[in-house]
Amino acid sequence: MNVEEILTQSVKSVIAQLYGQEVDEKLVQLQNTKKEFEGDLTLVVFPFLKISKKKPEETASEIGDALTKASPIVEKFNVIKGFLNLTIAKNVWVDTFNTILNDKEFGLKKATEDSPLYMVEYSSPNTNKPLHLGHIRNNLLGYSLCRILEANGYKVIKTNIVNDRGIHICKSMLAWQKFGNGETPSSTGKKGDHLVGDYYVKFDKAYKEEIKELMEKGVSEEDAKKQAPIMQEAQAMLKKWEDGDAEVRKLWEEMNGWVYEGFDETYKRLGVAFDKIYYESTTYIDGKNKVNEGLEKGLFYRREDGSVWADLTQNGLDEKLLLRADGTSVYMTQDIGTATQRFNEFDINKMIYVVGNEQNYHFQVLSILLDRLGFSWGKDLVHFSYGMVELPEGKMKSREGTVVDADDLMDEMIQTAKEVSAELGKIDEMTDEEANEIARICGLGALKYFILKVDPRKNMLFNPKESIDFNGNTGPFIQYTHARIRSVLRKAAEQGIQWGEQADTSIQLSETESNLIQYLSSFPNVVKQAGQEYSPALIANYVYELVKQYNSFYHDFSILKESDEAIRGFRLLLSQKIAEVIKSGMGLLGIDVPERM
RNA sequence: GGUCGGGUAGCUCAGCUGGAUAGAGCAACAGCCUUCUAAGCUGUGGGUCAAGGGUUCGAAUCCCUUCUCGAUCACCA
């Protein structure tokens, strides 16, 4: 039990004793005492006024009196209005700290055989263009969420569904056939996903020209879009693909292969990974079968033209198309198919889809459909819905070229990190290799933290002209504190200082130190809450606050120069543990921390 | 128009399961490096928490209305 839990029990029994009534735990509101008041924890007494039938101040004093007598951990108290500020005995904080020290996996739970299995789908790229900043947000959120769920003791399968078929893929393929002259990633030295993306853009350019020409001949815009020869060719190609045309399939496999190589590189650099990858080109068939199965069971209905629909009016929604009149699948069919494959392969307890908020409606429908089809986790599937990344000019649009490319952005961040290091004179004594590695860690740290610290629901703004900061509430700030602590610990070891594994319980802690322990002790709760709310931002904010408090301590107190050995030992242990928590906290965000920088 | 999500300092964001005088960072200004890493620390200024009403001892937080921004409501994926 931590201090807060012990205190909650004490408060309950004291109130029962004073006023002869059991109170619900929820009414015992303990919060950290605000800086401007004396004390560690504050009990809000307003909820007890009905029972005590006395004024707030009086009630608070009574409870405070009784608590100091009843609980050995409460040293003293003061009352301000309805707030009872409790000062916890300093030795309690040392004990708390020693307990934390003993816990090698502090705040992180391990999965057991019986742990629920969570499957998290994220990334979900199309194979016709490279990844951009929007995907970065998706990947970072998805990966971090997996880490957080693992830290909460769940079994987690990280999964990706690749949208590897469809008209958009045919557009790139066709443009490559027409204008490519046999270019390949190895012949051009270009990353495969970028090469394919270039042809997607070329298709669009050619398509627009054709539309323009047709319109000049007097064709309406709507008709021109349909009649444009290149579009008709793309559609013909899609038909061939569906029919299994050997030549088209071969080209498709080759070009997708290029893209996968490119994606793998980007994923690796971003530091994300998957346990299982699904491909739409195989799942859509299962989707069709599943829909037909549902049709036979009378869950869906067929219209006169042959198309298959789900009636969702009883759920307050519309009707939804599941199969076209020609029998081909739509987006929803594919997601049903993917779910089928997953369901057959894994014993899933919870399915989480990390997908942008533009698809809220889609997942609302998917949940109902999966539930109807008998997927146990369908009803409670989680759509981890996040907002768009916007540029100052507005939304990013691939076809208009207003996208921030993932690879470019990472390059820039790492480059900037290197420049910052150089300016600060940090890399003078480093090998090139080490300097590059630190630039990589810090550049990516800045990017990841920038994205993960904000509430996923919100749209966020990214201004490419103002580069992401390296000072203040940023990744490098946190990384720096870690590096600094590690440096102190290295110095201590060099000087032959031994600091043991436990803090001496006889030492007198300062307010700053006990506050640090108090804040440190809340890490497991933050991890738990982040898991319940699916919120990497909570972790980011916690680590930032911890680091800020530590920096202030670091500035005001000597560690190595402290003459009292017991206190010096404690400060070294405290620093060490905080470095560990920084590392595991940042680890939950998928951010590395360097030993020096 | 229906549904969903936003609106907090000049800018980017915390806080939202109701609690004390609404917090950080950036930007601006003023200090702190012969002492453990100054990517740091300390301070100053900056707010009608979109507006109005309600519930409550207490509202940025909950409820209602309005304004506003965005997403979505495809035989695109």
As a whole number of angstroms, the distance between CA A390 and CA A356 comes to: 13
CB A486 within 8 A of CB A595: yes
Give A179-231 pLDDT, tens digit per residue. 999 999 999 999 999 999 999 999 999 999 999 999 999 888 888 888 899 99
Q: What is the pLDDT of residue A83?
A: 94
CB A45 within 8 A of CB A85: no
Closest alpha carbon to A463 in A393, A415, A405: A393
The strand B neighbours among A residues 477-506, by Cβ under 7 Å, are 477, 480, 483-484, 486-488, 491
Q: Which chain B nucleotides are covered by protein, judged by CB under 7 A? A: 2, 4-7, 11-17, 19-21, 24-27, 35-42, 57-58, 70-77
Question: What are φ and ψ of residue A150, in 5° steps?
Answer: -60, -40
CB A521 within 8 A of CB A96: yes
Residue A222 DSSP SS3: helix
Q: In the structure, how far is the CA atom of residue A384 from the C1' atom of nucleotide B48, in angstroms?
A: 35
Task: Kindly list the distances between the CA atom of residue A452 and the CA atoms of A120, A125, A271, A296, A460, in Å, as whole numbers in the listed order.
Answer: 17, 20, 14, 46, 11
CB of A124 lies under 7 Å from some atom of strand B: no
In this model, does residue A398 exceed pLDDT 70? Answer: no
Give A399-458 pLDDT, tens digit per residue. 666 789 999 999 999 999 999 999 999 988 899 999 999 999 999 999 999 999 999 988
For residue A405, give every residue at least 6 positions away whose Cβ sits within 8 Å of its Cβ, in sequence order, or none.
A130, A131, A132, A133, A194
SS3 readout for A4-71: HHHHHHHHHHHHHHHHCCCCCHHHCCEEECCCCCCCCEEEECHHHHHHHCCCHHHHHHHHHHHHHHHC
As a whole number of angstroms, the distance between CA A273 and CA A266 comes to: 10
ipTM score assigned to the predicted complex: 0.96
As a whole number of angstroms, the distance between CA A138 and CA A242 comes to: 30
Give A549-594 pLDDT, tens digit per residue. 999 999 999 999 999 999 999 999 999 999 999 999 999 999 999 9
CB of A587 lies under 7 Å from some atom of strand B: no
Starting from the edge strand earliest in sequence, which strands make up the sheet with A389-391, in order? A394-395, A389-391, A460-461
Give A99-136 pLDDT, tens digit per residue. 999 999 999 999 999 999 999 999 999 999 999 999 99
In this model, does residue A91 exceed pLDDT 90? Answer: yes
Mean pLDDT over residues A474-481, rounded? Answer: 97
Query: Helix A246-270 crosses helix A406-423 at what angle (to 10 degrees)?
Result: 20
CB of A16 lies under 7 Å from some atom of strand B: no
Give A497-528 pLDDT, tens digit per residue. 999 999 999 999 999 999 999 999 999 999 99
Q: What angle do CA A286, A288, A294 make, to 5 degrees?
A: 100
Mean pLDDT of chain A: 94
Please give the share of chain A, as a percent, with pLDDT higher than 70.
99
Q: In the structure, how far is the CA atom of residue A219 from the C1' atom of nucleotide B16, in angstroms?
A: 55
Q: In the structure, how far is the CA atom of residue A204 from the C1' atom of nucleotide B48, in angstroms?
A: 50
Q: What is the pLDDT of residue A318?
A: 87
Q: What is the pLDDT of residue A401?
A: 66
In this model, does residue A463 exceed pLDDT 80? Answer: yes
Hey, what are A365's tokens? 């429908």
For residue A176, give every residue at least 6 positions away whose Cβ sits within 8 Å of its Cβ, in sequence order, or none.
A183, A196, A199, A251, A255
Q: In the structure, how far is the CA atom of residue A1 from the C1' atom of nucleotide B31, in angstroms?
A: 44
Question: If you write DSSP's letter for every residue of A277-315 in order, what string do you get?
Answer: EEEHHHHHHHHHHHHHHHHHTTSSEE-TTS-EEEE-GGG
Most confident of A214-223, A387-396, A526-535: A526-535
Q: b/e string for A5-41 if b means 16 or more Cβ within 10 A?
A: ebbbebbbebbeebbeeeeeeeebebeebeeeeebbb
Query: Helix A167-179 crosses helix A229-242 at what angle (to 10 degrees)?
Result: 120
CB of A454 lies under 7 Å from some atom of strand B: yes
Give A145-167 pLDDT, tens digit per residue. 999 999 999 999 999 999 999 99
Which pTM was predicted? 0.96
- A405 forms beta bridges with A132
CB of A597 lies under 7 Å from some atom of strand B: yes
Mean pLDDT over residues A299-304, rounded? Answer: 94
More confident residue, A28 or A2: A28
As a whole number of angstroms, the distance between CA A2 and CA A88 comes to: 12
CB A470 within 8 A of CB A417: yes
CB of A307 lies under 7 Å from some atom of strand B: yes
Length of chain A measured in residues: 597
Closest nt to residue A457, judged CA to C1': B5
Q: What is the pLDDT of residue A467?
A: 78
In this model, does residue A295 exceed pLDDT 90? Answer: yes
CB of A420 lies under 7 Å from some atom of strand B: yes
